[in-house]
Amino acid sequence: MTKTRGCGISIGRGCARLKRSLRAKRQGLSLTDAQGHIDTHDSPRDTAAQLATQMKDLQVSLDERKLHQREAKTSSQPANASSHHHRMKHSHTTNETPLQRVQRSLERQGLMRHLGVELLRVVSGECVVTLPFSDKTSRQHGAFHGGAVGALADIAGGYAALTVAPADMAVVNVEYKINFLATCQGGELCATGRVVNVGQRLIVTSAEVSHIDEDGTQTLCAVMQQTVMLEPKSD
């Protein structure tokens, strides 16, 4: 009888400890704090096995709560930093005029700088560029090389598309078709690119390339139609 009574007292104290711990959990106390407020006068209700299981669940719950608090604190810092970096990265592009946007891009075009391409006019939906004749642009017979004519038409159409692209997007050439209409020598080339159609992902442009002789005579020497694709900026 004495042994049985002692077991009942032990279980009763354990139940009281569990109740106190569960109340502490609802109040936001730690497991150690909860165990420091044990009331040993409550009556027993659960078995020893139930007591052990529920005490284990309480410890796991408290551990998970601490883990979630650490994760929330850690994840909030990189997100804020990334958002700030994104705003800083693109702040200089949101207020640019079409001319400033195209000029900034052209300055990074190694081939265009090598050939001597210059901007003549840039407005929304249109871009005009020029290319002077030189030994860098000539073919073996002394006239403008077709590759130089095509490159000038390509850049005129591409930059016309860039003027209507969202500030956080760049454009990349998907394809173009060009017809050469005349052979030209000396003077300079002038290419005018215009936007024909703007879609969600693709922009269609056209370009006309004229040769301007030293006396000012203009001759249409090539026409082009081009398709460019919008893509997220990488710089």
C-beta separation of 116 from 155 below 8 A? no
Exposure string over 82-105, b if 16+ CB within 10 A, otherwise e: eeeeeeeeeeeeeeeebeebbeeb
Residue 186 backbone zone (phi > 0: left; psi -120 to 50: alpha; other: beta): left
- Which residues, 6 or more positions from 24, have their beta carbon under 8 angstroms from its beta carbon? 30, 31, 33, 34, 37
1 vs 130, residue with greater confidence: 130
- Mean pLDDT (the chain) is 79
196 vs 24, residue with greater confidence: 196
Query: pLDDT band at residue 73, thresholds of 50, 70 and 90?
Result: low
Q: How many C-beta atoms surround the C-beta of residue 215 within 10 A?
A: 6
pLDDT of residue 234: 80
pLDDT tens, position by position, 138-187: 999 889 999 999 999 999 999 999 999 999 999 999 999 999 999 999 99
96 vs 154, residue with greater confidence: 154
pLDDT tens, position by position, 1-12: 444 444 444 545
pLDDT tens, position by position, 195-215: 999 999 999 999 999 999 999
Q: What is the mean pLDDT of residues 32-52?
A: 52
Q: What is the mean pLDDT of residues 68-88?
A: 52
Q: Determine what percent of the chain is predicted with pLDDT higher than 70.
A: 60
Instruction: Please check the confidence at residue 79 and state whether its pLDDT lies above 50.
Output: no
pLDDT of residue 95: 83
Instruction: Give this prediction's pTM.
Output: 0.60
Residue 111 backbone zone (phi > 0: left; psi -120 to 50: alpha; other: beta): alpha
pLDDT of residue 55: 65
CATH topology of domain 98-232: Thiol Ester Dehydrase; Chain A (3.10.129)
- Indicate where the chain has its CATH 3.10.129.10 domain(s): 98-232
- Which residues, 6 or more positions from 125, have their beta carbon under 8 angstroms from its beta carbon? 160, 163, 164, 194, 195
Query: What would the DSSP string read from start to end of 163-204?
Result: TTS-TTEEEEEEEEEEEE-----SSEEEEEEEEEEE-SSEEE
pLDDT of residue 96: 87
